[in-house]
Amino acid sequence: MNEALKSNLNSFFEGMPAFHKAPPNELSRLAAAARVIKYKKSDFIFQEGDPADASWWVADGIVKISKLAPDGRMSTMEILTQGDIFAPAGVMNLQYYPANAIAVTAAAVIKVLKPNFASFARTFPEIIQNVLQQVSQRLQRSHRLRSVDTLSSEKKVAAALLWVSEKSRRSVGLSRRELSEIAGVAPETAVRIVLEMKKKKWVTATARNVVAFNFAALQSFLGEE
């Protein structure tokens, strides 16, 4: 590992709230065991059912966790951005990944193999609690954001656009397929709603991407329930 990358990984882990009590030498040991992997938009990082061999962090870009629903549709469970840990196999009893991890944008992720992270976590038992608490709180927030089953399809799409934008703290281009997965509506329904929102100047839309830009209008629309 070159010195610049090692320094960047050290800084990354030092900035993790879950690791704030770990001494610098132990964080350096963790950084030495880490690997940075870059993915293109729509690449799979891992797939549901793959052996859970590592813990992962988002270093840059946006990653989604998705799962095949009983009706055959792909459902987005979480949206992850810089600093988020996912599938922490070193501290959770994971034998296989329970869902897919997919790059929503071009992304860089940090991978630490299960034995390395497990060894690090055993040295500092409070880290296990911190990581599990972080994952649990994020799942609860995601669940609240996606608890839109009683909303109209239009409001599900509006909620999905806001969810992604708020999580990433910027406007993000989504394909219509990605938007339909996150919103939990049929692709043809998402297309119809996007065209309506485009006419209202709430989003910009091309053949490839949908981008929310009128956040105030979308928030007001959701508040009309």
Instruction: Kindly give, in sequence order, each residue whose CB lies less than 8 Å from that of residue 199, ignoring residues fewer than 6 positions away.
Output: none
Say if residue 29 is in the same domain as residue 138: yes
* Same domain? 131 vs 164: no
**Are 93 and 193 within one domain?**
no
Statement to judge: residues 27 and 121 lie in one domain = yes
Per-residue pLDDT at 2 = 46
Q: What is the pLDDT of residues 75-121, one digit of tens each?
A: 788 888 888 999 988 788 889 999 999 998 889 999 999 999 999 88
Decide which of 89, 119, 145 is a domain's last residue.
145
Tens digits of residue pLDDT in 128-144: 888 888 888 777 766 65
Mean pLDDT of 26-55: 94
Q: Which domain holds residue 200?
A: 153-222
Mean pLDDT of the chain: 84
Assess whether 140 and 158 both reside in one domain.
no
Do 51 and 134 lie in a common domain? yes
> Percent of the chain, pLDDT > 70?
89
Q: How confident is the model at residue 148 (pLDDT cuts 50, 70, 90)?
A: low
Name the domain count of the chain. Answer: 2
136 plus 61 within the same structural domain: yes
The domain boundary, picked from 145, 169, 187, lies at 145
Give the pLDDT of residue 142. Answer: 66
pTM score: 0.76
CATH number of domain containing 117 = 2.60.120.10
- The answer to whether residues 120 and 20 belong to one domain is yes
pLDDT in tens, 176-191: 888 888 887 888 999 9
Residue that is last in its domain, among 110, 126, 145: 145
Give yes or no: residues 123 and 187 share one domain.
Answer: no
With cut-offs at 50, 70 and 90, classify the pLDDT of residue 59.
very high
- Both 90 and 160 in one domain: the answer is no
Q: Are residues 89 and 194 in the same domain?
A: no
User: How many Å apart are CA 111 and CA 117, to the nearest integer?
Assistant: 10
